[in-house]
Amino acid sequence: MGLRAVCFGEVLWDVFPTHKKIGGAPLNVALRLQSLGLNTNIISKVGKDSNGALLVDYIRENKVSADYIQKDATHETGKVTVLLDQDGSATYEINHPVAWDKIELTIGLQKLVLNADIFVFGSLSCRDSVSRTTLYELVKLSKFSVFDVNLRAPNYTQKVLFDLMNISNFIKFNDEEIIEISEYNKLKYNSLEENIKAISQFTNTDQICVTRGADGAVLYLNDKFYYNNGIQVKVIDTVGAGDSFLAALISKLLNKEDPQRALDYACAIGSLVAAKEGANAVISEEEIKSMLSL
């Protein structure tokens, strides 16, 4: 049996003026992990409505287990209203409360996480006390917990962010997020490396990754830094690129891949996703090899 992964958090619809698309960072990570060969489950909750049924169908069609997606008769399936101005810039309204805010702790969820090799979650799913309480209990059972920092104001607090960092084995930031979080506790230093080391010491977490957009990523692993300076592509759509990057990185690290090779592989996949439309674009091994050769 291969490695087993569990992702926790929001599954939702991004609703544009003319159409809607399936989204949610934990779902994007789960879909990519499954495509990379991990046996993947997602823990979430949808409403007993057509949007929820369509979401569950989509997840199953993409070979991710939907057995632990709860159904809510009171709250609707999550939606994010996306508004575009005349220049195409987007603003977001993340509806609350919705079904994924109310994920309830069950014995089944506890057994699932206990038997998994990796447990992935983000900060957005902690905006409501119900899902937050469930997550805190599940992290206690995980063998290897990955905190994907996704700061979506005003849906987080400093306390929750530091709580999550303190209970995680691996933390992933983008370059703006690590600066914001460093400033909270006056941890900010002159260099990115100093900030990473300060957070590592403060949270007792020795595995940290920071993505830098087109400039690649930095991985801090067991007191050593690894770098990728980015792979230049014609960007079509950056949505989901960071999620695919994270899935690729942790899947390679769990399979005991050399950290530098794992980082390079993850950057290649993230770049390929950014060069295609959609958060969960299909990527072939040939495309990855070609990207790594650049």
Residue-wise pLDDT for 256-288, tens only, equals: 999 999 999 999 999 888 878 766 778 878 888
Contact between residue 214 and residue 234 where contact means Cβ atoms under 8 Å apart = no
- Whether omega before 97 lies within 30 degrees of 0, making that bond cis, reads yes
Question: Among 99-103, 125-129, 225-229, 274-278, which stretch is predicted with the lowest mean pLDDT?
Answer: 274-278
User: Phi first, then psi: what are they for 144, rounded to 5°?
Assistant: -150, 115
Angstrom distance (rounded) from CA 11 to CA 187: 33
Cα 271 to Cα 197: distance, rounded to the nearest angstrom: 27
Cα angle: 233, vertex 123, 31; to 5 degrees: 50
What pLDDT is stored for residue 1 in this prediction? 57
Q: In the block, which residue shows the tokens 């909750």? A: 45
Tokens 């595995």 belong to: 207
**How far is residue 226's CA from residue 75's CA, in Å, rounded to a whole number?**
44
Give tens-digit pLDDT for 77-121.
Answer: 999 887 766 655 567 788 899 999 999 999 999 999 999 999 999
What are the chain's domains? 1-168 (3.40.1190.20), 177-184+204-294 (3.40.1190.20)
Percent of the chain whose pLDDT exceeds 90: 71
Q: What is the value of pTM for the model shown?
A: 0.93
In this model, does residue 153 exceed pLDDT 90?
no
If one counts every other C-beta atom within 10 angstroms of the C-beta of residue 285, the result is 7
- What's the CA gap between 292 and 36, in Å, rounded? 17
Q: How far is CA 148 from the centre of its chain?
A: 5
Q: Mind listing the pLDDT tens digit for each residue in 191-216?
A: 899 999 999 999 999 999 999 988 99
Give the pLDDT confidence score for residue 190 in this predicted structure.
Answer: 76
Listed in sequence order, the residues at least 6 apart from 217 whose beta carbon sits closer than 8 Å to its beta carbon are: 209, 210, 211, 227, 228, 245, 263, 266, 267
- What is the token pair recorded at 126? 């902690």
> Residue 185 pLDDT > 90, yes or no?
no
